[in-house]
Amino acid sequence: MKRIIFSACFLFAVAGTAVAQQQPQFSHYGFNGMYLNPAYAGIKGQGEITAIGRSQYYGYNATFDNGGSLQTASLTASIPVAAIGGGLGIGIYRDKVAQLATTNAQLSYSKHIKIGEGRLGLGVQAIFNNIYQGTYRFVDEGDVKIPREGSDQKFDAGAGVWYESEKLYAGLSVNNLFRSGYKFNSEVVGGKTAEYINENHAYLTAGYNIEASSSVVVTPTVLMKMVMPGKFGDNNKFSFKNNSYEAGVRATFDDRFWGGIGYRYDESFTGMAGLSFAKDNAIRVGLAYDLVAFNQDARALSSFELLLSYRLPKPGLLTRPAIRTPRYSF
């Protein structure tokens, strides 16, 4: 197929050599385990609600309509449920890349197993994807591969494992296991169907809490996102160049304030800061700024991300224990 539209050119520029759109990534990945892994659901022993908004390549001015910066919003929630021996989680995100918009919803279950000083979560996930094609402009009139405005929906699945202890966490997950194909009517009446493949990814992440002092905790973190091999596209997709690698470190002071730096391989450096407040520091607000330092073609130089989360109180006893006095002990 000929190169047909400015939107498609931008899409391939930001997605790399993969044949389909990569899933969104967040600089606050160290606070967003529910987005990465279904086994995370309830593993911390208390409920969490996390919202993240991201503007990637902020201010990018493309030659097509509505600019071209990537806009992503994510909302996740999880809670432990003792009756089922694990936890439940939900999540939804909307990702807009030029004319292409993806809405994704997940429902997760995690089975918790006590191992040593921590717990191991075994998670499964049901996924619903809706992909919407916007309005495209052709270069070659009559090209049957130009999609007409419309959408397609598919169900998919994911799975993962997550280990959580006081000092260490680590998780491995994979999503979009079915690698469903999405089809859209061609702009040319009677033409072939335009197709889209939603890549499946594996996420490997880990972090370790180091008590630098009685009031300071230092946490190194890593994240690797891998494009999994499949029957579509390049047989060499599972390669170093198609994966994404991130590493960072943050320091938390008195469980209230934190600051950190990060590095995304061959793309950007990240700075972040935030604070917690309210009872038990349950509300968390954070801001991350990415400075694009490599491969600046077809990208603006910065990205912004805002985090807001709330930690629910830990579950307690449903009834108060009886209070006994010596008067009735004889």
Whether the pLDDT of residue 6 is over 70: the answer is: no
Q: Torsions phi, psi of 282, nearest 5?
A: -75, -25
Whether the pLDDT of residue 28 is over 80: the answer is: yes
Containing domain of residue 260, as a range?
A: 21-312
Identify the weakest region by mean pLDDT among 10-14, 34-38, 258-262. Answer: 10-14
In this prediction, what percent of the chain has a pLDDT beyond 90?
A: 55
Q: What is the DSSP string of 284-304?
A: EEEEEEEEE-S--TTS-SEEE
pLDDT at 329: 43
Give the total number of structural domains in the chain. Answer: 1
Residue 249 inside a domain? The answer is yes
- Tell me, what amino acid is at 330? F
Average pLDDT over residues 100-122: 95
Residue 91 inside a domain? The answer is yes
CA distance 164 to 295: 36
Identify the weakest region by mean pLDDT among 3-12, 75-84, 88-97, 121-130. Answer: 3-12
Residue 147 inside a domain? The answer is yes
> Running DSSP on this structure, what letter comes out for residue 14?
H
Residue 325 inside a domain? The answer is no
Whether the pLDDT of residue 258 is over 90: the answer is: yes
Q: Which residue has the tokens 């899409």?
A: 11
Residue 1 inside a domain? The answer is no
**Residue 44's closest CA among 126, 209, 159, 166?**
166
The CATH number that applies at residue 269 is: 2.40.160.60
pLDDT at 157: 95
CA distance 307 to 31: 9
Q: What is the DSSP string of 65-111?
A: TT---EEEEEEEEEEEEGGGTEEEEEEEEEEEETTEEEEEEEEEEEE
Residue 139 inside a domain? The answer is yes
In this prediction, what percent of the chain has a pLDDT beyond 70?
A: 75
Average pLDDT over residues 243-250: 94
> Running DSSP on this structure, what letter comes out for residue 46?
S
Which tokens go with 141? 């009139």
Residue 115 inside a domain? The answer is yes
Of the pLDDT bands very low, low, confident and very high (cuts 50, 70, 90), residue 9 is: very low
CA distance 36 to 18: 20
Identify the weakest region by mean pLDDT among 81-85, 188-192, 268-272, 285-289. Answer: 188-192
pLDDT at 274: 97
More reliable by pLDDT, 259 or 227: 259
**Residue 25's closest CA among 219, 209, 178, 223?**
223
Whether the pLDDT of residue 74 is over 50: the answer is: yes
Whether the pLDDT of residue 148 is over 90: the answer is: no
CA distance 284 to 308: 6
Whether the pLDDT of residue 226 is over 70: the answer is: yes
Q: How far is CA 172 from CA 29, 35, 67, 158, in A?
A: 14, 12, 35, 11
Residues 151-201 have pLDDT tens digits of 889 999 999 999 999 999 999 999 988 888 888 776 666 655 667 777 788
Residue 10 inside a domain? The answer is no
Whether the pLDDT of residue 276 is over 80: the answer is: yes
Q: What is the mean pLDDT of the chain?
A: 82
